[in-house]
């Protein structure tokens, strides 16, 4: 009985060994692979025999170089998806150029169409100058910067490069006109809907054979020298604005050439409304710039005065409860959250 019991134990033991043998072999094989891999890629120490045979410096250099190469491969594999995403993001920005047509519309009541008070140039010559701006003399003999419509796209390209580090055209701009009209556009106040201007300016485009549907943004700039007398103040012909259509955006800007400030504000308003066309939002409340989005340096100490204006506010905050209007695009910049709103940054 005892002998039979021992035989049963021996058979059970042998059976257990046979069952376990494949798993043991597989485990040992993995251990060997791991050891080989470790020896290949993680060499940091060298044996005296290696140093004696090949030279201490050479052996250690080879070990370090091999380890660096392995680590480099690993880091490249980790970084590669991030780089690809970044390239896709930058490529999308580079290719996203908006086609814009600026349509000049003019209605002058006095001599301003041929005004030569600005050096020896008329208003229309200056506003359409091929350079980004001209320096002109004001009534008191002081030098003033007179921006040109041809400088708008350059200004946006410079801001884009400053913010992203990349060179790119933001707008591909074509300028037509000026087209003369005999009637003023509807009087749009600050809080009126922009839609009240649309039929008037669409008719100007149609009458002059301009197909605005071929462009992403149609910007109408109205040159006039009128003011309307209201119960509380003088008002310009209309407040500049932007409205979205089904296939394009329309921008309406009033350049009141009776006053130099009306001209400079016109250029800033045009840039402001064009940026609306890219998806930017206003950062002002009345005359105040909304913080932190509406001021360039929200963390500056002391906070005021600010040195420039954000494009979507347009005023420079010189105190907590005080601001001043900007005189040219040279005093305006696209601020951090404005760039983020139009997807220039993430």
**Averaged pLDDT for residues 324-336:** 91
Shared domain check, 167 and 36: no
pLDDT at 252 over 90: yes
126 and 29 co-located in one domain:
no
User: Would you say residue 198 lies in a domain?
Assistant: yes
Residue 252 lies in a domain: yes
Its pTM stands at 0.68
Q: For residue 185, which of 215, 220, 155, 151 has the smallest C-alpha distance?
A: 220
* Statement: residue 313 has pLDDT above 90: yes
Residue pair 214/185 in contact by the 8 Å Cβ criterion: no
Q: Which of 333, 331, 315 is nearest to 133 (CA)?
A: 331
Q: Indicate if 155 and 57 belong to the same structural domain.
A: no
Confidence of residue 121 (pLDDT cuts 50, 70, 90): low
CA angle 69, 75, 80 (to 5 degrees): 125
Domain boundary residue, one of 84, 106, 135: 84
For the segment 123-148, what is each residue's pLDDT rounded down to a tens digit? Answer: 778 888 888 888 877 667 777 777 88
Residue 322 lies in a domain: no
Q: How many domains does the chain have?
A: 2
Identify the pLDDT of residue 336.
93
Position 101 pLDDT exceeds 80: yes
Do 269 and 123 share a domain, yes or no?
Answer: yes
User: Do 78 and 183 lie in a common domain?
Assistant: no
pLDDT of res. 236:
62
The residue out of 26, 52, 84 marking a domain boundary is 84
pLDDT at residue 233, as a whole number: 44
- 9-23, 107-121, 164-178: least confident range: 107-121
Q: Which of 84, 111, 128 is the last residue of a domain?
A: 84
Is there a cis peptide before residue 186, judged by omega within 30 degrees of 0?
A: no
Residues 6+ apart with CB under 8 A from 173: 100, 101, 102, 149, 150, 152, 153
| CB neighbour list of residue 213: distance below 8 Å, 6 or more residues apart | 247, 248
Helix (H, G, I), strand (E, B) or coil at 48: helix
Q: What is the mean pLDDT of residues 246-260?
A: 74
Q: Does residue 50 lie in a domain region? A: yes
Tell me which DSSP letter residue 277 carries.
T
Instruction: Report residue 193's pLDDT band, with 50, 70 and 90 as the boundaries.
Output: confident
Distance between CA atoms of 96 and 244, rounded to whole angstroms?
A: 18
Domain membership flag for residue 306: no
Answer whether residue 296 shows pLDDT above 70: yes
Percent of the chain residues past pLDDT 70, beyond the cut: 61
Residues 6+ apart with CB under 8 A from 283: 289, 290, 293, 294, 310, 312, 313, 335, 337, 338
**Residue numbers of the domain that contains 19:** 2-84
d(CA 182, CA 227): 16
Residues 177 and 39 both lie in one domain:
no
Do 31 and 120 share a domain, yes or no? no
244 with 110, same domain?
A: yes
pLDDT value for 341: 93
Tell whether the model's pLDDT for residue 237 goes beyond 80: no
Q: Which of 39-53, 91-105, 208-222 has the highest mean pLDDT?
A: 208-222
Q: Does residue 315 carry a pLDDT above 50?
A: yes
Least confident stretch, 147-161, 215-229, 247-261? 247-261
Name the token pair of 49.
Answer: 């025999």
Residues 233, 114 within the same domain: yes
Do 57 and 134 lie in one domain? The reply is no
Residues whose CB is less than 8 angstroms from the CB of residue 199 and which lie 6 or more positions away in sequence, other chains included: none
What are the two backbone dihedrals, phi and then psi, of residue 264, each rounded to the nearest 5 degrees?
-65, -40
236 lies in the same domain as 142: yes
Round the average pLDDT of the chain to a whole number and report it: 75
Instruction: Look at residue 43 and tell me if it is in a domain.
Output: yes
CA distance 336 to 346: 10
Residues 143 and 51 in one domain: no
Tell me, what's the pLDDT at 90?
45
Q: Taking residues 284-313, what's their average pLDDT?
A: 92
Report pLDDT digits (tens) over 51-83: 444 444 444 444 444 545 545 454 444 444 444
The mean pLDDT of 198-210, rounded to a whole number, is: 95
pLDDT score at 47: 46
Residue 302 placed within a domain: no
Quick check: is 300 in a domain? no
């Amino acid at each position: 009985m005892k002998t039979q019991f021992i035989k049963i134990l021996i058979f059970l033991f042998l059976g257990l060994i046979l069952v376990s043998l494949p798993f043991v072999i597989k485990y040992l094989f993995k251990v060997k692979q791991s050891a080989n891999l470790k020896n290949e890629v993680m060499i940091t120490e060298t044996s005296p025999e290696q140093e004696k045979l090949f030279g201490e410096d050479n052996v250690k250099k080879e070990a370090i170089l091999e380890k660096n190469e392995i680590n480099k491969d690993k880091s490249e594999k980790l970084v590669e998806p991030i780089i690809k995403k970044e390239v896709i993001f930058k490529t999308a920005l580079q290719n996203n150029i908006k086609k814009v047509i600026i349509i000049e519309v003019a209605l002058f009541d006095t001599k301003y169409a041929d005004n030569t008070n600005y050096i020896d140039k008329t208003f229309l010559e200056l506003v359409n100058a091929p350079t980004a701006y001209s320096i002109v003399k004001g009534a008191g003999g002081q030098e003033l910067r007179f921006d040109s419509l041809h400088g708008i796209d350059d200004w946006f390209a410079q801001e884009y490069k400053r913010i992203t580090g990349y060179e790119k055209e933001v707008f591909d701009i074509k300028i037509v006109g000026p087209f003369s009209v005999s009637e003023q556009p509807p009087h749009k106040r600050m809080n009126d809907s922009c839609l009240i201007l649309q039929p008037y300016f669409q008719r100007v485009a149609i009458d002059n054979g301009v197909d605005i549907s071929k462009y992403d943004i149609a910007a109408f700039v109205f040159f006039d020298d009128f003011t309307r007398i209201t119960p509380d103040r003088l008002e310009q012909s209309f407040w500049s604005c932007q409205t979205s259509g089904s296939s394009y955006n329309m921008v309406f800007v009033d350049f009141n050439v009776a006053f130099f400030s009306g001209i400079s504000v016109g250029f800033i308003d045009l840039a402001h409304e064009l940026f609306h066309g890219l998806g930017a939002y206003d950062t002002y409340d009345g005359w105040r710039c909304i913080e932190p989005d509406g001021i360039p340096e929200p963390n500056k100490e002391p906070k005021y005065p600010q040195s420039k204006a954000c494009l979507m506010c347009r005023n420079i905050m010189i105190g907590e409860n005080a601001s001043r209007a900007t005189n040219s695009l040279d005093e305006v910049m696209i601020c951090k959250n404005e760039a983020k709103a139009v997807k220039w940054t993430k």
